Structure 1
Amino acid sequence: MISTLFIFLSLIVIFPAWLLAAPTAIVGARLIDGNGKKPRSGITILIENDRIVSVGNKVKVPKNTKIIDARNKFVVPGLVDAHVHVMGDGSYIDNMVSDNPKVREAMERIIRQAPYQLSRYLCAGVTRALDIGAPNVMFKLRDDSRNNPRSPTIYTSGLMVSTLPSIYNITMPHDMPIAYLSRTSEQALNAIESLIPYRPDFIKFQLIAWDDGLDPNMPPDELLKVQKGLIEKYSPAISTGITATHRRGMKALVHAMELATHKAVAKLGADAIMHGVFDLPVDQELINILKQKSVTYVPTISVADRMEQVMNYPPHLDFLPIEKECASVGTLNSFKDVPKGSKNPVPFDLKIARQNLKALSDAGVKIAMGTDSGNFGVLAGASVHKEMLEMVNAGMSPMQVIVSATKNAADLVTDKPDFGTIEAGKKADILVLDADPVKDIGNLAKIKLVIKNGNVFERSEFVNERPSGYESQ
């Protein structure tokens, strides 16, 4: 079955069009380069093959160059979503457990429709995405994305290294697990060794201050004691895993959602924490640890908000226009299946999450934008626009959010990424916008052109696109 799946996924490989392309010049643009610098006007960006070769006011444009007139337009780097799950499209599925046929059917559909699923990211201006936890078949999809101009470039961890049995016990189609259960140092080392042949781009860890069978309604003081005990019990495994990851030259991206687990994993050497703090206000101790150890904070506010919107009947989803344009009919219709009377079993404190993001950003902690897309209501690709709006509403400036969604997110893959900013030598991942995103972050959705590895697309090509066989969804 796995070999059949690999053969199918190989069909999405498309010959790189940029190998035969003439140079392209974006002329007259107002440039927002992703570094946080003041925007510059009248800029020319010269692209050859898949790279930016020159940026400035006096760029010499060769003959036979394709000209993109960007006067009165705004140019930003392609967006980078630092937390996605490509194997999910954001649809609602009742009872999300591994033996539910609906779960397997949904995953099989996404695999069958891989080219369409991946193009949803370009529809929203997302040219790179970090898949943080997936069955190891994701490595094949990642490799194919490198030669598919209608796909974002995917980076992935493959299976997660998790301390929670219920995560370990979830299986996807073809009996593919999504995590290695790693509660001891030996288990963590074995998990990493099992991943190495796939060439992961980073390793995803989960330090879960929870255990199967616990009562989510226990008194707060008792809950904090339980969390402390679980953190002490499983920290050695995570510490060993992070050390082994760094020894291999990779970054350790860690799931944590509570104040206590954030402090623990930051002390253990996490390079980034892939969720915000949702339970308590952040304190100076956490701020100091994150800054001293250069830990990046990925708030993922929108996933908590959308889970609240979906799970508390009746659903009251506030999808943005770009989300509706890029989503499939099947995904949008799935929310009609939310059972009457349903309640979110694990409510998040969104007010605290927003206040925490503001406090950490003001303190100078490095922030990267990530959505946790693939979860209920967090749509593939376009959910970045919901997340960026949340970040501005929490108190970050539009320019800070742009940097978080480009340069800072790119830095999670490697210390010297060749993408994420508009500079000579970087990959030609560029968005041409009709309005100024520095004045209004919502203008990042007003995309005229998407340029991916030098390939130029009108965003309208992706709008309301439908996968084959969608009528039956």
Structure 2
Amino acid sequence: MNKHLIFLAIAATLPFATNAAERVDLLIRDATVVDVVSGKLQPHRTIAVRDGHILAIADAKQAKRYEASQVVDAQGKFAIPGLWDMHVHFGGGDKLIEENRNLLPLYLAHGITAVRDCAGDLSPSVLQWRDQVSKGELAGPRIFTSGPKLEGYKSIWPGDIEIGNTAELNAALDQLQGWKVDFVKITDNTLSPELFLAAVKEADRRGMKTSAHVPYSLTLEEVSAAGLDSIEHFDYAYKAGSPLEKSLGGKIARGEINSRDAWTQWNATFDPARARAAYRNLARHGTAITPTINGSRVVTYLDQDDHKRDPYLKYIGPGLQATYTWRVERAAKDDAQAVARRHERFETSAGVLPMMQKAGMTILAGTDAGFLNSYNYPGIGLHQELGWLVHYGLTPTQALQAATINGARFLGHADEYGTLQAGKVADVVLLDADPLRDIDATRRIHAVVQRGQVHDRADLDAMLADVERRVAAQQAAAASTKP
């Protein structure tokens, strides 16, 4: 075949090749994809997105088959799944609805595409926001909510559902199911241990996930065997390592000893082998834990940093800042000896984190950020939490799992979220550095993709600036009403 015929043959194939290219909505080109399950990097990958879902993750050769009107150059960037904060709160009363709504873009601007709301006193608003976000009518992370928590009569928690018998328990669960909550939150301020266990068992029978503060008078084995799905806050788990777990817990419940003195005895009798066995048993039952290290650490070390000059306060409304006071004032009452004890309690309790991980427990990354929880900030708080998870013994891969796939699995949505794979929702965070090498790289966000919609750095900065403007206006309004 002469050169002229060769040229004609090649030209004849070009229209076919062009027509054969598959059209998608978005191409994220040449990223290094972080496999959060295996902890391995997949370099030079192109993520093809259509209709808000990942169509394919292609290597350089396969990527040539796709065309898109929107292309993101991700060369030198690291792609991770959207992050999940598995313990947040919205609340503070109806006057703070707008201040709480301002928190939603803070999450998104920090790469957090899903949050688990663990109860407050704004449930009607939160349920509305959940629906609006899912419809694309409101900017923010996908919201999974418990609605109001279950408690006993005259509890300290605002907005809860107070119950005192099984009839009221069933009515409460009927109400929560009617609202289509994503899980049930149970706490132990005034709820009896018997009704606590009944609530866990009945919710489990109805197929509802449960999350709880564990009553001191119950062992971790008792609540786990009853079907509890997650323990909130790591300090509840420490006592399982002591043979005095049950007896001292009973004394606390009867008012014969306070929790601080009980913890001293639990610590003195702590047996690592006993703790490991207890955590393996929790893993067998499928009970996860949300350590919420960041929130606890802030309060523990208020004597060293009062946080009053934190730059991030410019994003937190004056009403929400005012709710921080109760924990600050309580911590300020501690004398030097009490401060030293709370430091020791925090550090020792956090030290069991690697034990729980090695035992096979599912660890969920959550901050406890929101109203009441002093200087524990929505958005940046999750990145601080990831840093503490690594500081106290997890690997960067394990920390990333806690903030991605573990949350999706826990809530039953691993088929849609948690990893970057074909068929899953296109929630992607592009980072400037490798988070498997340094977990602080999660803070270096280049862009956030939510359901296929790209928010570049300029968009994210604009979200933050808008929240700052809103908060400044709220502060001005609050100042003008002071006598």
Aligned mates of 2:455, 2:287 — CA distance in 1 = 35
Cα 1:247–1:259 shift into 2, 3 Å:
closer
> 1:68-467 residue pairs with structure 2 within 5 A?
68-87=72-91, 103-104=92-93, 108-109=95-96, 111-113=97-99, 115-135=101-121, 136-137=123-124, 138-146=126-134, 147-148=136-137, 150-163=139-152, 165-167=154-156, 170-171=157-158, 178-206=159-187, 208=188, 234-256=192-214, 261-277=219-235, 280=239, 282=241, 283-310=275-302, 312=303, 315-316=306-307, 324=312, 327-328=315-316, 330=318, 342-343=332-333, 347=342, 349-374=345-370, 375-414=373-412, 416-458=414-456, 459-465=460-466, 466-467=468-469
Residue 48 of structure 1 pairs with residue 37 of structure 2 = no
CA contact (8 A) 1:78 1:406 kept: yes
Report which structure shows greater RCO (CA 8 Å, sep ≥6).
1
Aligned mates of 1:420, 1:160 — CA distance in 2 = 26
Deviation at 1:383, TM superposition (A): 0.6
Deviation at 1:429, TM superposition (A): 0.8
Task: Write out per-residue CA displacement over residues 38-76 of structure 1, whole angstroms, 9 at most, x where no aligned residue.
Answer: 111011111112111111312355334311111111010
Aligned mates of 2:229, 2:394 — CA distance in 1 = 22
Q: What is the letter of the counterpart of residue 369 of structure 2?
A: S
Aligned mates of 1:129, 1:60 — CA distance in 2 = 36
CA contact (8 A) 2:280 2:361 kept: no
Alignment correspondent of 2:9: none
Aligned mates of 1:392, 1:438 — CA distance in 2 = 11
> 1:47-66 residue pairs with structure 2 within 5 A?
47-57=49-59, 58-66=62-70
Structure 2 counterpart SS, 1:143: helix
Alignment correspondent of 1:216: none
Structure 2 counterpart SS, 1:420: coil
RMSD: 3.1
CA contact (8 A) 2:49 2:55 kept: yes
TM-score by length of 2: 0.75
Task: Determine what percentage of the aligned residue pairs are the same residue.
Answer: 25
Deviates more, 1:409-418 or 1:194-203: 409-418
Aligned mates of 2:400, 2:384 — CA distance in 1 = 13
Task: Write out per-residue CA displacement over residues 377-432 of structure 1, whole angstroms, 9 at most, x where no aligned residue.
Answer: 11112210111111001010001100110000112211644111111111111100
Aligned mates of 2:51, 2:68 — CA distance in 1 = 14
Alignment correspondent of 2:272: none
Task: Write out per-residue CA displacement over residues 335-356 of structure 1, whole angstroms, 9 at most, x where no aligned residue.
Answer: 9976699236994721122211
CA contact (8 A) 1:309 1:317 kept: no
Aligned mates of 1:85, 1:393 — CA distance in 2 = 25
Deviation at 1:305, TM superposition (A): 0.9
CA contact (8 A) 1:123 1:382 kept: no
Structure 1 counterpart SS, 2:420: coil
Q: What is the letter of the counterpart of residue 357 of structure 1?
A: L
Alignment correspondent of 1:3: none
CA contact (8 A) 1:281 1:352 kept: no
Looking at secondary structure, tell me which structure has more helix per residue: 2
CA contact (8 A) 1:26 1:44 kept: yes
Structure 2 counterpart SS, 1:59: helix
CA contact (8 A) 2:46 2:57 kept: yes
Structure 1 counterpart SS, 2:352: helix
* Structure with bigger gyration radius: 2
TM-score by length of 1: 0.76
* Unaligned stretches of 5+ residues in structure 2: 1-22, 242-274, 479-483
Deviation at 1:155, TM superposition (A): 0.8
Q: What is the letter of the counterpart of residue 422 of structure 1?
A: L
Aligned mates of 1:406, 1:249 — CA distance in 2 = 23
Cα 1:64–1:302 shift into 2, 3 Å:
closer
Deviation at 1:326, TM superposition (A): 7.9
Aligned mates of 1:183, 1:285 — CA distance in 2 = 34
Moved over 4 A (4+): 257-261, 316-319, 329-341, 344-348
CA contact (8 A) 1:32 1:40 kept: yes
Aligned mates of 1:133, 1:336 — CA distance in 2 = 17
Task: Write out per-residue CA displacement over residues 200-221 of structure 1, whole angstroms, 9 at most, x where no aligned residue.
Answer: 1111112x2x66xxxxxxxxxx
